[in-house]
Amino acid sequence: MNEHTVKAFDTDIGQLRGLISEMGGLTEDAIAKAMQALQRSDLQLAAEVRANDRRIDALEAEVESLAVRIIALRAPLAIDLREVVAAMKIASVVERIADYAKNIAKRVPLIESEHRIEPVSILPAMGRMAAEMVRHALDAFAARDAEEAARVWHSDPPLDDFYDSIFRTLVTFMVENPTTISQVAHLLFIAKNLERIGDHATNVAEMVYFAATGEHLADRERGGGERD
């Protein structure tokens, strides 16, 4: 894209995009570490994820004030306007994603028990899938790549299917091992959190698509949607 005649405008937009990238990086890291903590019952790592969330919250506030400043001082139009608005919305969605990661980390100590619960081993694959969606959605934002955003959008149904299958597995496990119910219930929530992370990554993809093209992705291809 051509540069603005007023170079400071490009600097502002660049800074805004930089903040989103930073938030995205920290959030991917939070998901990965939360899942690692779960897998290894690593309480220290789980505590680290919870502590790092504050930095992500602070970045969201920074994005918001920078976006407001750009709107006030630069009066952005067309793609610039869509991008600034998208950045503001994406920041709040990414902050939510990070909250889910934090919530997963919070559950790690509660699942702690003398004998390892076997179904824990099926969650990391789902975690990787959700984290990939987040990464691709934010890569699409960084590259202003509408097609990449559309691909992320299409990768949500497989994650939902994954969730459904984990749900059934966990319920079956609880029926067979009633003594583990309180711990496995946490795993259910974790699976749900990962499913929600995927939904939010889909939202980010929609915003990226709109910012880049001015069209709504959902209008282009109807289908999918949130599950409960």
Partner 1 sequence: MTARNVHVHYGPKQAIDGVSIDIEQDKVVAFIGPSGCGKSTFLRTLNRMNDTVASARVKGDIRLDGQDIYAPEMDVVQLRARVGMVFQKPNPFPKSIYENVAYGPRIHGLAAGKADLDHVVERSLTRAGLWNEVKDRLSDSGTALSGGQQQRLCIARAIAVDPEVILMDEPCSALDPIATAKIEELIHELRGRYAIAIVTHNMQQAARVSQKTAFFHLGTLVEYGATSDIFTNPRQDRTKDYITGRYG
Residues near partner 1 (CB under 8 A) are 1-6, 9, 75-82, 214-215
Nearer Cβ to partner 1 (187/212): 212
In the complex, the smallest distance separating the C-beta of residue 87 from partner 1, rounded to whole angstroms, is 15
Nearer Cβ to partner 1 (199/206): 206
Q: Is 177 left (phi over 0), alpha (psi -120 to 50) or beta?
A: beta
Give ∠ CA 146-203-225 in degrees, rounded to 5: 110
Nearer Cβ to partner 1 (150/174): 150
In the complex, the smallest distance separating the C-beta of residue 81 from partner 1, rounded to whole angstroms, is 6
Q: Taking the chain, what is the end-to-end CA distance rounded to the nearest angstrom?
A: 40
Give ∠ CA 223-97-180 in degrees, rounded to 5: 95
Nearer Cβ to partner 1 (6/181): 6
Nearer Cβ to partner 1 (5/44): 5
Q: Is 214 left (phi over 0), alpha (psi -120 to 50) or beta?
A: left
**How many Cβ atoms are within 10 Å of 167's Cβ, its own excluded?**
14
Nearer Cβ to partner 1 (81/120): 81
In the complex, the smallest distance separating the C-beta of residue 132 from partner 1, rounded to whole angstroms, is 30
Looking at residue 197, its amino acid is I
Question: What are the tokens at 143?
Answer: 């590259």
Distance CA 120, CA 124 (A): 8
In the complex, the smallest distance separating the C-beta of residue 59 from partner 1, rounded to whole angstroms, is 26
In the complex, the smallest distance separating the C-beta of residue 79 from partner 1, rounded to whole angstroms, is 6
Distance CA 133, CA 118 (A): 26
Is the CB of residue 43 less than 8 Å from the CB of residue 111? no
In the complex, the smallest distance separating the C-beta of residue 182 from partner 1, rounded to whole angstroms, is 51
**How many Cβ atoms are within 10 Å of 160's Cβ, its own excluded?**
17
